[in-house]
A and B are shown apart, each in its own frame.
Chain A
Amino acid sequence: MFKNLKITCNQATTICDKNQYGEGSVKELIKLNIHLILCRICMKYSKQNTTLSSFYKAYSMHCKDIKYCLSLEDKEALKAALEKNKE
């Protein structure tokens, strides 16, 4: 039974990343937490990941506020191209 709970650092950090979005399953989180007790490197990764997630969140809020528009010149060029394509 315990053998099934043993995972590698690569698997542990994959679950850790997934869980930054709240999408790790219960089984995955059990495996991750057992790994974290035993592995200081992944524990460090996990703590740093929380900091990075807060950075990404702030970055996301900033980026989502930006609305991109085409310039008038771009639109005119697009209209001309479309007109040409109709022929």
Chain B
Amino acid sequence: MTEQKHALTPNKWIDNYADYLFNYTISRVNNSDLAKDLVQETFFAGLKSAKNFQGKATEKTWLVSILKRKIIDHYRKINSKKGQAEVRMSFYDDGENEGSWLEERVPQSWDNASEKRIENEELRIQLAACIDKLPEKYAMVFRMKTVQEFETEEICKELGITSSNLWVMIHRARTQLRRCMEDNWFNN
């Protein structure tokens, strides 16, 4: 018995896959315009390399694999931008105090923590605002890990980073988010 070969039907791509690919992209990049561009580029690249499609995977899987490359290209671009915003340091990075808290970044007590624990719309808006303040690559990794709850291995594979890279980025993102929530939610 021969395996069934999958065929491409580009005329139906948008009706069949545009929403799926768009949703897939936005859960990673969290920017609607950028997601639209990446989906469009994916379809263009799909058309261009349609002759190389061997029918081993389904059309959808094949399009997703193209999209994944577009997303990793985007990540590399934001990771290598010259003069890109880094998160603010919270620890001494050299000298005898290396690795200790910088005085001005030491966590403060949250005096009214108990009444601020209510989870509501206002809190979600504040969290979203704090995440948006992170440099893009930190926001992307934080969202994938914490909001979309992807496996560490999956994120590392998708972005071409090591797990220690990932944890350093998560750590920096969370340290900055803690401070942002301290200033804007707890002790405001």
Residues of A near any B CB (own CB < 8 A): 7-11, 13-14, 17-18, 20-21, 23, 41, 44-45, 48-49, 51-52, 54-56, 58-60, 62-64, 67-70, 74-75, 78-79, 81-82, 85-86
Contact = CB atoms under 8 A, between A and B. Distances in A.
Given A52-B181, A78-B39, A67 B100 contact: no
Contacts of A62: 124
B40 A8 contact: no
A20 B86 CA distance: 23
A24 to B, nearest CB: 10
A59 B124 contact: yes
Interface residues of B, number: 49
Contact of B36 (A44, A54, A70): A70
B188 to A, nearest CB: 15
Interface of A is mostly: helix
A68 B34 CA distance: 14
A41 B106 contact: yes
B74 interface: no
Contact of B40 (A7, A21, A81): A81
Interface string B123-145: 11001100000000000000001
